Structure 1
Amino acid sequence: MTTHCDLCKLLAAPPAEVLVWRDARLAVILVDEPGYPGFTRVVWHGHVREMTDLAPAERDHVMRTVWAVEEAQRATLAPHKINVASFGNMTPHVHWHVIPRYTDDAHFPNPTWGAKQREHDAAAIAARAALLPALRAAIIEKLK
């Protein structure tokens, strides 16, 4: 862990409401992104910039975890689409964003960081946020 790395700090002491699951190599965390309940990241513990820096078995572990999160989101949240992306331009941790998307979300069909298309629907967001305990349980079940 380094003291200047936001992901290291988060992984060292993740709040209970953020941490969904972890093992010795990676963690699944919920992201507090306004308007996007269920936005999840799969984060490799160590400072590794690229997937190809990992051994093949480690890459497989990361992607099996990403796909398990996606499956849990689809089963629990019933989104229109799931966005799966790996950026990490500023953070030296392999990490994948797994984002449930809906045709009524504020940015759809643009990426969540793109131009806003409409205001958030507070009732829809509240209904989706109410499903977070079930999403946590589904992710944990898939990763047993």
Structure 2
Amino acid sequence: MKLESPEYCSLCNPERERILWKNDFVRVISVSDDAYPVFCRVITNQHWVEFSDLSPVDREQIMHVVYSVEKEMRILLSPTKVNIASFGNLVPHLHWHVIPRFQGDPHYPNPIWGDLTGGRPVSPPSGFWEIFGDSLRAYLDNDRI
């Protein structure tokens, strides 16, 4: 099995995902994580492995979407910090993790993949995903990206 192949890629062939916003190039999904209930990913629709494989226009577009997700999270959640990460070691498909962080969350101030610090998950407000999705769509659908 070649991990770089779209045939075996879990982001090219998702079993189930909640899409919050999508265009022809990129999509934003919510991530089901009990410890981080407002975790999002920004994922290219086509199988790209490295950021440098993209055209300048596509690089600008995806970073604008990452920025927009972070901006809307800050407006709606007022987190202590928003972590933005792109690794791809386990899933070599170009994507970004956008994770609002709060003092007292399970790993704070460590990365979410680091050592636990004994905190508790911070629950989103009621109806968060609907409000967030509406806000993100209103912003991105009216933007020239």
Tell me the TM-score normalised to structure 2 length. 0.86
Match of 1:132 in 2: 129
Unmatched 5+ residue regions in structure 2? none
Taking the aligned partners of 2:19 and 2:39, their CA distance within structure 1 comes to: 12
Aligned residues: 136
Match of 2:140 in 1: 143
Kindly indicate whether the alpha-carbon contact (under 8 Å) linking 1:25 and 1:44 is maintained by their aligned counterparts in 2.
Answer: yes
When the two chains are superposed, the root-mean-square deviation of aligned CA atoms in Å is: 1.7
Q: Which range is displaced more, 89-98 or 106-115?
A: 89-98
Question: Which of 9, 16, 21 matches 2:13?
Answer: 9
Taking the aligned partners of 1:27 and 1:43, their CA distance within structure 2 comes to: 5
Unmatched 5+ residue regions in structure 1? none
**SS of the residue 1:109 aligns to:** coil
Greater helix share, structure number: 1
Q: Deviations over 1:14-65 (max 9, x none)?
A: 54xx110111111100001112122100001122111110000000000000
Match of 1:97 in 2: 97
Aligned amino acid, residue 7 of structure 1: L
Tell me the TM-score normalised to structure 1 length. 0.87
Correspondence 1:83 to 2:87 = no
Q: Deviations over 1:86-134 (max 9, x none)?
A: 001122321010000000111000011111111425xx42xx1522221
Match of 2:42 in 1: 42
Alignment of 1:9-88 (within 5 A): 9-10=13-14, 14-15=16-17, 18-88=18-88
Taking the aligned partners of 1:78 and 1:71, their CA distance within structure 2 comes to: 10
Taking the aligned partners of 2:40 and 2:100, their CA distance within structure 1 comes to: 9
